[in-house]
Amino acid sequence: MVDFAAGEPNGALGAALAEFAVHGYHGTTVRRIAKRAGLSAAGLYHHYQSKQDMLVAVMNRGLDDLTVQLESEVEHVGTDPVDRLVRIVEVLALFHTQRTKEAFVAWTEVRSLEPANRGRVVAKRDRIQRLADAAVEDGVASGAFLNEFPRDSSRFIASMCVSIVQWYKPDGPLSPSEVAERLVVSALRLAGYAPDSGAV
């Protein structure tokens, strides 16, 4: 399975991520980020022009890594919609369990983005959603999924994966791979997987 565990940023960006994850964007100050990073405020501004730039960088880093991995996995498994949905859910689950802080900030702080930045980040999130949409819709078209409302189901599936950041604990009873396995089962049920339909 995909390993995202080593991907969280270091340095100034890592400090910004840590502060945003704990205090939220509006509760975080540049001074606090600089202190965590071992820099002066002036030194921090040498790397990023504003706190908003740091938030955008945090979000872009996580979403870009996730998108690259999702698209690579989807291409690798081929055209079968069931296999594609399984891999999409696995990758989403592993990202949200292994890089929880990045995922949490990416999905909860969109409201804090300035309009132009928000539009670009939302477009990246939509690109991820379209992968799930296509897998479920193609599964319905092939008969692999029995589902009257495929677009609703693909949104439920994506929301289920995103919600991991609200409840998952690294020291809890489930490993990232176990979370992924359970979410795959739920996702296939939501999609209306019909293994005995003769279509797959």
Amino acid letter, 181: E
Domain range for 116 is 50-191
Closest CA to 33 of 61, 25, 98, 8: 25
Segment 110-149, tens digit of pLDDT: 999 999 999 999 999 999 999 999 999 999 999 999 999 9
| Residue 174, burial from CB neighbour count under 10 angstroms (0-12, 13-18, 19+) | middle
In the block, tokens 């396995």 appear at 181
What is the CATH classification number for the domain harbouring 146?
A: 1.10.357.10
The pLDDT value given to residue 200: 41
Segment 71-108, tens digit of pLDDT: 999 999 999 999 999 999 999 999 999 999 999 999 89
What pTM did the predictor assign? Answer: 0.91
- Tokens encoding 196: 């005995």
Count structural domains, the chain: 1
Amino acid letter, 114: E
Q: Does residue 160 form part of some domain?
A: yes
Q: Does residue 97 form part of some domain?
A: yes
List residues bridging with 28 in a β-sheet: none
Helix (H) or strand (E) holding 45, with range, is: helix 41-47
